[in-house]
Structure 1
Amino acid sequence: MVKLIHTLADHDDDVNCCAFSSSLLATCSLDKTIRLYSLSDFTEVPYSPLKFHTYAVHCCCFSPSGHILASCSTDGTTVLWDAQNGQILAVMEQPSGSPVRVCRFSPDSACLVSGASDGTVVLWNAQSYKLHRCASVKDGSLVACAFSPPGNLFVTGSSCGDLTVWDDKMRCLHNEKAHDLGITCCDFSSQPVPGGEEGLQFFQLASCGQDCQIKIWVISFIHILGFELKYKSTLTGHCAPVLACAFSHDGQMLVSGSVDKSVIVYDTNTENILHTLTQHTRYVTTCAFAPNILLLATGSMDKTVKIWQFEKETLCQAKIQDQPKQFTENWSEDDVSNWLCAEGLEDLVDIFKMNNIDGRELLNLTKESLADDLKIESLGLRSKVLRKIEELRTKVKTLSSEIPDEFICPITRELMKDPVIASDGYSYEKEAMENWISKKKRTSPMTNLVLSSMILTPNRTLKMAINRWLSETHQK
């Protein structure tokens, strides 16, 4: 069980980041301020808000000891603050003057990394406040960073979708295309994966991005040979871009926040969804676990930070809340199996899987096909299945009648999954428009005029809007 215990609403604009120390919560915002709260009662400390930055503050983080707070901003600076009194310790200017998007302390507090919009990444000496080394990625903005628990490596993520691994001498050790539409956040689990061989440590890294996915990677640290990065799995609980992810201190949970306004908590061992939290009214931009207690903070474009408390005794008993967010006709066979279990029809799972029943097949089932094709002998069971299917059909009709016109493909007259813009300025379902063009039709389906170009451009804004609408519809 997760309980919302407090809502902080002191910022005047979008909340961009939140971070815990053992005694404080820090939040920062587009309103140019950083605010600090006591974890004892969530009251704002007397010296808060912290004001120096002249533009939006994108990121804040505590040093491992909790004594120093770092913040970075569009103004091109990374500022170090005394977390006990709010005094400025240092103002470190990005060499290029570019907006600084992310900052992170090394596990030993000796170094601080700052990443900027122009792709530059700077390693600062956190004691002398001087620039130690500087490098840059080939393309895109630096928007994410995480240090490995041993501290000998750190990973950066770019708006182009690349994960880059650096050593403590700022040498680029590895580059990996992780998310097609850009990375938004990454985080290391502080706890090693159990079962590592002698002299070999494995740690999990999570990355998330505009492709609506969270990817889990395993990095192995070999004392002599270096390291190895391997893709492990993909978590797909969100139906819109994922903007933030963070591991719990004990490594047992992973939390994520999304454009779909939801927060999802995963069990890192099973990768099942433990909790889905939907109290934010706009995009969830940041999430963080407290280091020593079962507290979670989430921040949003709704200008609030919400504090959640976990009930430890029920944590291990929480079960997956697996409710497909897409239309029934788009369900996979696994989604159909989950639906059967939710409706108390788990005895039919094997029969439906054996016959490859997906969402579209499910909606087309009749009493004859249930008896003749699926060989369900019980009349009462067939009647129950048909009754449940009819409820799904009614829901599909209701949803279909509510689809905004701009979400419907002019060719198929169905909700678009992968909208593209043609040269006539209209959006179409990609597959439908490609079929239209492949049949030598060089005219616009809407205007009947000759298309000036056959190039189809992904309409990502429309796709995001459709995914948001789907999410909101299924939450009603």
Structure 2
Amino acid sequence: MASLICTLQDHQDDVNWCSFSAALFATCSGDKTLRVYSALDFSELPFSPLTGHGYGVHCCCFSACGQFLVSCSTDATTVVWSTGTGDIEAVLEHPGRSPVRICALSPDSAHLVSGASDGTLALWDFPSKRLRRTGGVSDTTMVACSFSPCGQIFATGSTYGDLRLWDLDLNQLHAEKNAHDLGVSCCAFAPSILSGGQLVQFRLASCGQDSHLKIWAVNKFSSGAFKMQLLHTLTAQAAPVLCCSFSSDGQLLVSGSVDKSVTIYDANNAVLLHKLNHHERYVTACCFSSTSPLIATGSMDKSVHIWRLEDGAGRRGGKSFPEDSAQTQNEGSAPAGRTRLLVADWSEADVSAWLQEEGLAGLVDTFRANNMDGAELLRLTKETLASELGVESVGLRGKLLRKLEELKGELLGSGTPDEFLCPITRELMREPVIAADGYSYEREAIEGWIHTKNRSSPMTNLPLLTTLLTPNHTLKMAISRWKSSQ
């Protein structure tokens, strides 16, 4: 479910782009301004609006740390703003003084690309704000650009209808001509990297004047060659699709269209989840928050809508169970609510009742004294039983561990979807994150793995290209919905 929680109506002209950082939210418009808001309550910051462009502002994006905001304009400049003060840090003039239609920062904010109406590209060293390379394609307008999650390549789209891949020397790696009939309008890389054998794969979404939203596999081979493969063509919108964006975990894809609609898809399965119709004119901008289940959409109706994706779970710490559940039962019998809960959600009373049922009543006082709930129970090892809980009896420790393994086995055999289980611990994930190998893990488990296994993938045994972990909000919501149904 997607619910509208806020509408911003501060711009005086079309909203052309919107972008989140961890703490801020920015929009830009044909009215020559950018507006900056708190991402917590969407109150506008004191120094907003930002004025400095001479013509309409087409695009804006935050640096990785959120310290800077970058914007580009028909005035042929790309401007770098301080998000602390709203002051201009640098004005980058595009070579040839052509109107700049698109700008994008690499994930590490080392590089900035700007694309212009004459088809030129400018690659800037962002820390020094110096021009490194120029290139591009003649007789077209660059309107789309996105960096891959590794930051070593980027994709561009133009009004000619092509998608092209470039390296940081502006060498063209691949050209997918006629990707969209009548022209590309936007493109966006998913944040995950899939690797295995001799292949590294990225996912790229693109949309265009043909009313299609497409998902591509971008394959890099060990030889250094690149190839693009069309995976899905999504046709839920009846008019040109103007914008698209992946969620921070790569599981969801949002798009906006001339038909005034916003669509939200399951990006992996190409399934339409929601279609929203609250804007009065073309939807020109869309993006996900990286820290919360929020989507922003901007329109030619001069408004920006903020949507919250609901996970359907109960309000009690993400758990869903009735008020007469485990915490309100007598400890001497099996609580009626416990059978409907996953072990990780058991209360201390549930754990005590389970110990008694399994003939381990002698451990009840020890577990109570140490506030052992279900999550702590699942983490128990032979070492923690002896050193932290002081269980000296070898036989008692052995019996408890055997019963605990049986309990975990029951969890696996109870119909728990395998994708909800961490590949490392084989336990239900509570804080799933996506690693550079494209797989999801429990955060604590993969962080420990990376620390001790020299950055190899637990699934492929190949080196992880980065140790960056991205919260998998979509999987977390799916797990929450599944738990509430049990």
Q: TM-score range by the shorter chain?
A: 0.5 to 0.7
2:184 paired residue number: 183
Q: State the superposition RMSD in angstroms.
A: 1.4
TM-score normalised per structure 1: 0.64
Measured in 2, the distance between the counterparts of 1:304 and 1:4 equals 13
Query: Structure 1 residue 154 and structure 2 residue 154: aligned?
Result: yes
Measured in 1, the distance between the counterparts of 2:226 and 2:183 equals 24
Please show how residues 384-423 of structure 1 align to structure 2 within 5 Å. Answer: none
Measured in 1, the distance between the counterparts of 2:147 and 2:268 equals 22
- Aligned-pair CA distance for 1:200: 2.9
2:36 paired residue number: 36
Please show how residues 54-453 of structure 1 align to structure 2 within 5 Å. Answer: 54-177=54-177, 178-193=179-194, 196-198=195-197, 200-313=199-312
AA at the equivalent of 1:163 = L
Measured in 2, the distance between the counterparts of 1:246 and 1:123 equals 22
C-alpha contact (below 8 Å) 2:232/2:270 kept by paired residues: no
Deviations 1:105-160 (A, max 9, x none): 01111110000001010001101111100002133100000111111110100001
- Aligned-pair CA distance for 1:283: 0.2
- Aligned-pair CA distance for 1:223: 4.8
- Residue 149 of structure 2 aligns to a residue whose secondary structure is coil
1:20 paired residue number: 20
Deviations 1:294-321 (A, max 9, x none): 000000000000000011237xxxxxxx
- Aligned-pair CA distance for 1:202: 1.6
- Aligned-pair CA distance for 1:251: 0.7
Deviations 1:428-473 (A, max 9, x none): xxxxxxxxxxxxxxxxxxxxxxxxxxxxxxxxxxxxxxxxxxxxxx
Return structure 1 stretches of 4+ with deviation > 4 angstroms.
none
Measured in 2, the distance between the counterparts of 1:11 and 1:245 equals 21
Measured in 1, the distance between the counterparts of 2:181 and 2:139 equals 13
Measured in 1, the distance between the counterparts of 2:287 and 2:236 equals 18
TM-score normalised per structure 2: 0.63
AA at the equivalent of 1:303 = K
Measured in 1, the distance between the counterparts of 2:287 and 2:253 equals 10
- Residue 226 of structure 2 aligns to a residue whose secondary structure is strand
Measured in 2, the distance between the counterparts of 1:52 and 1:223 equals 46
- Aligned-pair CA distance for 1:243: 0.2
Measured in 1, the distance between the counterparts of 2:73 and 2:117 equals 11
Measured in 1, the distance between the counterparts of 2:29 and 2:222 equals 40
AA at the equivalent of 1:49 = P
C-alpha contact (below 8 Å) 2:173/2:225 kept by paired residues: no
- Aligned-pair CA distance for 1:192: 2.8
Measured in 2, the distance between the counterparts of 1:225 and 1:243 equals 32
AA at the equivalent of 1:251 = G
C-alpha contact (below 8 Å) 2:190/2:203 kept by paired residues: yes
1:328 paired residue number: none
- Residue 313 of structure 1 aligns to a residue whose secondary structure is coil
C-alpha contact (below 8 Å) 2:176/2:228 kept by paired residues: no
- Aligned-pair CA distance for 1:11: 0.3
AA at the equivalent of 2:298 = G
46 and 242 in structure 1: CA distance in 2 versus 1, 3 angstrom threshold:
same
AA at the equivalent of 1:245 = C
Measured in 2, the distance between the counterparts of 1:71 and 1:5 equals 27
Measured in 2, the distance between the counterparts of 1:313 and 1:69 equals 34
- Aligned-pair CA distance for 1:199: 5.3
1:448 paired residue number: none
AA at the equivalent of 1:300 = S
More divergent stretch after superposition (229-238 vs 22-31): 229-238
Measured in 2, the distance between the counterparts of 1:119 and 1:29 equals 22
81 and 208 in structure 1: CA distance in 2 versus 1, 3 angstrom threshold:
same
Measured in 1, the distance between the counterparts of 2:209 and 2:296 equals 22
User: Number of paired residues?
Assistant: 313
- Residue 312 of structure 1 aligns to a residue whose secondary structure is coil
Structure 2 runs not aligned, ≥5 long: 314-486
AA at the equivalent of 1:188 = F
What is the percent sequence identity of the aligned residues?
55
Measured in 2, the distance between the counterparts of 1:192 and 1:112 equals 21
Measured in 2, the distance between the counterparts of 1:142 and 1:217 equals 19
AA at the equivalent of 1:120 = T
- Aligned-pair CA distance for 1:224: 4.4
